A and B are shown apart, each in its own frame.
Chain A
Amino acid sequence: MTEDNKKTPEFQDREDNRSMQEIHSAAFRESPLPEEGNERGPIWMYAVIILTFAFGFFYIGRYLGEVSDRAHVLFTAPPTEAVEEIEVDLIAEGQRIYGRVCQACHQANGQGIAGVFPTLAGTEWVVEQPDKSVLMILNGLQGELVRERATYNGVMPPFARQLDDFEIAAVVSYIRNAFGNEGSEIDPDRVARIRELTADISGAYNPQTIVETAARIGAELAE
């Protein structure tokens, strides 16, 4: 066909294509266009296809899990007893949580922001009465807060759903031992008790109700 085209003077399909045929006519003669359309493809391609099938079936077999509408559970085995015995550094864990959760408002140095977010350094409710810190973290705090040195009017959001007892104990332990504060570590069990005793309270405290609640649970915790 290529040869025929060249010999036909009338043939004028798209100016440039015609000349391309002429330019490359030698090449076309040497290796005529292959009769394509029915090739089988290289062998490695079939090898890849077979390997892919093999992997697919292996993967489904290995990780199928339970066929039900139950939510996904991790493939990792449940933690053994040995894992629980490892001692965790409550304060280091608390520092990590502080950086993630608290720092945006209370700042890296714990100083807060004047008029909005209270300082944590040397604060009575952190150092002397840590139960109030726990209460605040659980349910949040709203309303004007008048302290000796300053007055604040911000909103502390509740974290009862985001942080578990251990995490709250860790972060309170951390703020009691940072920013120049010194205090004991808080036991996660105590946080669990406080959470239990205040389970009926919904919504944020205000500066008055938090004092009342602290007094109520203080008595029960002392038992």
Chain B
Amino acid sequence: MLLEQSISVSAGIWILLLFSLLIIVSGIALFSWAWLSGQFDDINKGAQLPFTEEEPAGEPTDQLFKPEEETHSDK
């Protein structure tokens, strides 16, 4: 009984270890793919990705709480 238990303790630990390593290895694999496919070639371009022609950089969005008087004072 005791012997049985000690064997399965070690088996379970190695399985957890295996999957932890799998997560890390999958991370490294993704990184290699990203590197080789040129994802990191133009770092500066990445920062501009959230902005489109419809919602360009330089203009704040979602300004719901802007006071009325400020909003219309310059009209």
Contacts and interface: CB of A to CB of B under 8 A. Distances in A.
Given A36-B47, A37-B43, A37-B48, A20 B60 contact: yes
Contacts of B13: 69
Contacts of A17: 59-61, 63
A48 interface: no
A12 to B, nearest CB: 12
Interface residues of B, number: 24
B47 A69 contact: no
A14 B71 CA distance: 11
A37 B14 CA distance: 42
A52 interface: no
A19 B73 contact: yes
A217 to B, nearest CB: 29
A177 interface: no
Contacts, number: 47
A187 interface: no
A74 to B, nearest CB: 19
A23 B46 CA distance: 30
A16 B66 contact: yes
A19 B59 contact: no
A38 B71 contact: no
Contacts of B43: 37-38
A33 interface: yes
B10 A69 contact: yes
Contacts of B9: 69
A17 B65 CA distance: 11
Contact of A1 (B58, B66, B74): B58
Contact of A16 (B10, B48, B63): B63
A15 B48 CA distance: 24
A16 B66 CA distance: 7
A40 B13 CA distance: 41
Contacts of B60: 17, 20
Contacts of A23: 70, 73-74
Contacts of A37: 43-44, 46-48
A14 B14 CA distance: 57
Contacts of A1: 56, 58
Nearest to B6: A69
A61 to B, nearest CB: 20
Given A17-B61, A38-B47, A69-B14, 5 more contacts: A15-B71, A17-B63, A19-B75, A20-B66, A37-B43
21 contacts: A1-B58, A14-B61, A16-B66, A17-B61, A19-B71, A19-B73, A19-B75, A20-B60, A20-B63, A20-B66, A20-B70, A22-B74, A23-B73, A23-B74, A36-B47, A37-B44, A37-B46, A37-B48, A69-B9, A69-B10, A69-B13
